[in-house]
Amino acid sequence: MRPKNLAKEEAIRTVALQIITEEGLENLSMQRLAKAANVSPRTIYIKYENKEDFLIKLFIEEVLGAYEQAVLENFSPELGFAEGVKKIWLNTFQYLTQNRPSFALLQYGKSSPLLNQAYQKAGIRQGQFFAPIHRFLESHTAAGLIRNFPPDVHRALLFSPLLDLISEYFDYQSRPTQLITEDLVLACCEAVTKGMLT
């Protein structure tokens, strides 16, 4: 049996992320992807059932896993609230600003019905993903340190401003000076943290 050429599989995935980042998800076609990855269209269909299957697997296996790992690096649910939130913010900011394709796909996950399905499947809102953060928030809530909100609401308050700042980071990347610096992000982190306290 002829063995799989793993380099081709990888080329398909990385070229796909490149096209999505530079020209948007709507400009990624299977034929174009195949040509850019120096591969026959049929080769993509060896591993993936169809385009939808490909995108969902690209999202879950290539993006979400690495993202979660980066965000949780050196984080522990036992950390103090301010310290834990700061760690999460710094990890997220540093990882996503250095991995634009991941950020682009995460943003698409919020609007595209197709990728939104993948989100649900990955259990982001159910807390299977980022479980340590879930526990972290629950324990500090139980201790009465932070306001008693449902987990989804905690997540909205904690993460959405940060993702918005990262979006602005990329907007300003094409201009003479960068508005969104790490110091500024840490100041925002402090503001968000303070607001959540009881």
> Quick check: 82 binds a second copy (CB under 8 A)?
no
Choose one: 5-13, 119-127, 154-162, 173-181; the region binding DNA (CB under 7 A). 5-13
Q: How far is CA 141 from CA 78, 135, 153, in A?
A: 13, 10, 12
- Report which secondary-structure segment, H or E, holds 193: helix 182-196
Residue identified by tokens 């993936």 is 48
Which one of residues 24, 41, 65, 123 is an interface residue with a second copy (CB under 8 A)? 24
Residue 136, Cβ density class (10 Å: 0-12 exposed, 13-18 middle, ≥19 buried): buried
CA dist 24 and 1 (Å) reads 38
Scanning residues 71 to 130, which ones bind DNA (CB under 7 A)? none
Q: With contacts defined by CB under 7 A, name the span among 27-35, 114-122, 156-164, 186-194 that binds DNA.
A: 27-35
User: Pick from a second copy, DNA, none: which does 147 bind, CB < 5 to 8 A by kind?
Assistant: a second copy
Residue number, 21 or 43, with CB nearest to DNA: 43
Q: Among DNA, a second copy, none, what binds residue 10 when CB lies within 5 to 8 Å by partner kind?
A: none
Out of a second copy, DNA, none, which partner does residue 112 contact, by CB within 5 to 8 A per kind? Answer: a second copy
Q: Does 153 bind a second copy (CB under 8 A)?
A: yes
**Could you give the CA distance from residue 90 to residue 112 in angstroms, rounded to a whole number?**
27
Question: Does the footprint of DNA cover residue 8 (CB under 7 A)?
Answer: yes
User: Which tokens sit at 59?
Assistant: 């999202």
Distance CA 135, CA 93 (A): 22
Task: List residues bridging with 197 in a β-sheet.
Answer: 146
90 binds a second copy (CB under 8 A): no
End-to-end CA distance of the chain: 64
Which residue among 10, 23, 29, 69 contacts DNA (CB under 7 A)? 29
Residues in touch with DNA (CB under 7 A)? 1-5, 8-9, 27-32, 34, 38-46, 50-52
